[in-house]
Structure 1
């Protein structure tokens, strides 16, 4: 079962799509980007890794605290040896994990003490960069809406669709609901919630079956902590 959960997190890029990757080519927002309203506002100060770690490990959500650290390198290695259909989704996911789409961001990621939730915090040079990365959630949902993944000898069908989560205090939000099927049956459902606060991002996902509100409430808590730090 651990292999299944790891593969789920990998294919969707869920715990990392909002904290170490990006959501589109950097020049896509140059003309009339989605954050035109934000351009008139002064840029918030970019948070460094130490600040993000302090926020991450001091925030409590759903009765759980969070600890930085994760298996980003292990995930990337597992993905490199995995087979994706369509094949392009492998590159999309690897680019998200390896921070190849939006440059200059700082980030931390980890999991809740009970290993039910995964979360990440990122901060960027500008609101536009943060918004570009957030917009990547839609790209994943659209271009990889139905993916066949084979990893560690396990074959799964992952179906993703965009969602519109409500996160208190966020400037913009995006989300993905991923249904994972093995042997023709739904194994689990993953909720990914991302929220932008000025030039910073919060991303939360479940790696075990929980109610949608559990993921959203955790995002609420992290957004509040980021706003206080800013």
Structure 2
């Protein structure tokens, strides 16, 4: 039998849930275009910093870069790629010898297993070639969405957008593309980045986050978008509005 309080609750109509508003960019479309125009003037052809010689070695390098620095990965892979630059050679090298090359990288044991497993999968399912398709790439061992996007962008020239820790920080710090997860931030950026700037957008933002808009102390005095930036956290030395000449 229902108690009085329970009866009252049962009669009360259910409250409609108010949908939570998704965070939006603080910037107008004109401001976003100007931000990426300045990045394009500063670095017309930005390059990733992972060393590689082909699509396969790029794929391996990106897999190894999870929770590791590009500098550390490059030191480890120079010797590895000198002897194994194809899935067939990597498989012939074997897990133990791959591990010997990359043991200076975090989680190297598990990564060595993944490198061998993805080499096997490429040989078995793709005739030893790296597929230019996100769904096929993410089915490979150790390959997630971010890795697939980097490979598609750098190896195949596709206008994909990969979110790393730098881009996640910038999207939220600047209010440019706020989100709690990499997938959310990726979607926000894809909603606002002008199509003609999408090809290089993630490289511009990674380099900006790595060398200028740093995690601990952003160097606003060196920032080409300082006068447009709406971040709450800024250093005191912020230049006046920058002209294309000053940016270059």
Q: TM-score range by the shorter chain?
A: under 0.3
Q: Which has the higher contact order (CA 8 A, sep 6+)?
A: 1
- TM-score calculated relative to the size of structure 1: 0.26
Which of 1 and 2 has greater Rg?
2
